[in-house]
Amino acid sequence: MKPISLVLISVAALSAGCQPTTAGAPGAGKPAQVAAVGVHTVAPQSLSITTELPGRTTAYQVAEVRPQVGGLIQKRLFAEGADVKAGAQLYQIDPATYQAAYNSAKAALAKAKANLAAATPKVARYKELVAIEGVSRQDYDDAVAAAEQARADVEAAAAALDSARINVDYTRVAAPISGRISRSNVTPGALVTAGQANALTTVQQLDPIYVDVTQSSTDMLRLKRELESGSLKKNGGQARVTLLLADGSKYAQEGKLQFSDASVDPGTGNVVLRALFPNPKHDLLPGMFVRAVVDSGVDEQAILVPQQGVTRNPKGEATAMVLNKEGKVEQRVLATGATVGDQWLVKSGLSAGDRVIIDGLQKVRPGAPAQVAAKPATTAAANQRAAQ
């Protein structure tokens, strides 16, 4: 029986030697490693709130030039697309018939003045004679009436002369405002009529220039409530506006908000806002598409969080991982506003002092412990340690 016992003991010893040893395994009995993360500490700050809105440029003044008398166009006296001054002559209409009417009215006035010159002394003489009964009272009254008629004729002839002179002046079609003139719709030899439907040309004042932008009535009401509640404060008097052009560049001049429309478009639910911009170089032309950045007010307790610290959950809600005071990770649902550079403006969900995780998000989950990663040593300190 001894040989069998020896075999069993050897097998038992061999089996025991094949079992893994846990007592001496590295890391046995040690706690799991805590994830090191980078955080952004929330600190409210004063922030100018802006709203970016689409819009189009509109001329400050627009004048459609139409003739005020009829006739043939003799000359065009401007270069299409040029800048013109108010009062500059643009067209010449044939003045012959109007000049003849003016000369006739001038002669009629001279005749009326001559009749008045003859009637006035007669009244003076008859006044003396009627006192001594040299003439009848009826003759005196007729002389007075004739003098008054002559005076009225003079006034009527003077008015007719003024009307004829105005018509002669209207044959010289002038620019009603200063600005840039468009192409001409008529050529010399064309027959025009007074007050015709088709304009001869158009003059637009481009400096300054309007920018009409649209804002939804919902956003307008929200801003109004925020201003009334005090969470948003007005930044001075008129709101400042900057422009982004169609190619993405920023317009050099700053404008001011003039007014908002008194009604809401029932089709779109938008309100039109009008801003006024200097345009000395005529870089802005009517009809250009732009984006206006309107200064809505100042939020003195604005919370900004780097965009890499904000993600979206399956519901589409903005969320952030926050490292609480106990060193545990919390997930917060946020209400975000506009982006400011590379940061989100957070309306709710965070408060001052919260530590938002922005680095190492892939290493943590809600409820897990985490710690703030140590800041990397400076290059000088690292080199000193390397030398030691």
Domain count of the fold of the chain: 3
Decide if pLDDT at 186 tops 80.
yes
Secondary structure letter of residue 251 according to DSSP: P
Q: Are residues 282 and 174 in the same domain?
A: no
**Which domain CATH number covers 289?**
2.40.30.170
Laid out side by side, the sheet with 89-93 consists of: 172-174, 89-93, 71-76, 191-192
Is-contact 176 84, C-beta < 8 A? no
Of the candidates 286, 282, 372, the one whose C-alpha atom is nearest the C-alpha of residue 322 is: 372
Q: If you count them, how many residues does the chain have?
A: 388
Residue ranges making up the domain that contains 193: 67-198
d(CA 98, CA 387): 104
- The alpha carbon of 296 is separated from its chain's Cα centroid by a whole number of angstroms, namely 12
Decide if pLDDT at 259 tops 80.
no
d(CA 67, CA 15): 118
ω into 208 cis (within 30 of 0): yes
User: Scanning the structure block, which residue is given the tokens 């038992």?
Assistant: 12
d(CA 106, CA 165): 9
pTM above 0.85, yes or no: no
- Whether residue 188 is contained in a domain is answered as yes
Report the pLDDT value the prediction gives residue 202, as an integer from 0 to 100: 96
Decide if pLDDT at 261 tops 90.
no
Decide if pLDDT at 293 tops 90.
no
- Whether residue 122 is contained in a domain is answered as yes
- Whether residue 136 is contained in a domain is answered as yes
Q: Are residues 99 and 179 in the same domain?
A: yes
> Which has the higher per-residue pLDDT, 263 or 158?
158
Decide if pLDDT at 8 tops 70.
no
d(CA 167, CA 98): 6
Residue spans of beta strands (DSSP E) within 68-227:
71-76, 83-84, 89-93, 172-174, 179-181, 191-192, 201-216
Q: What is the largest CA-CA distance in the chain?
A: 191
Q: Are residues 279 and 337 in the same domain?
A: no
At 354, the amino acid letter reads D
> Which has the higher per-residue pLDDT, 75 or 234?
75
Report the pLDDT value the prediction gives residue 128, as an integer from 0 to 100: 83
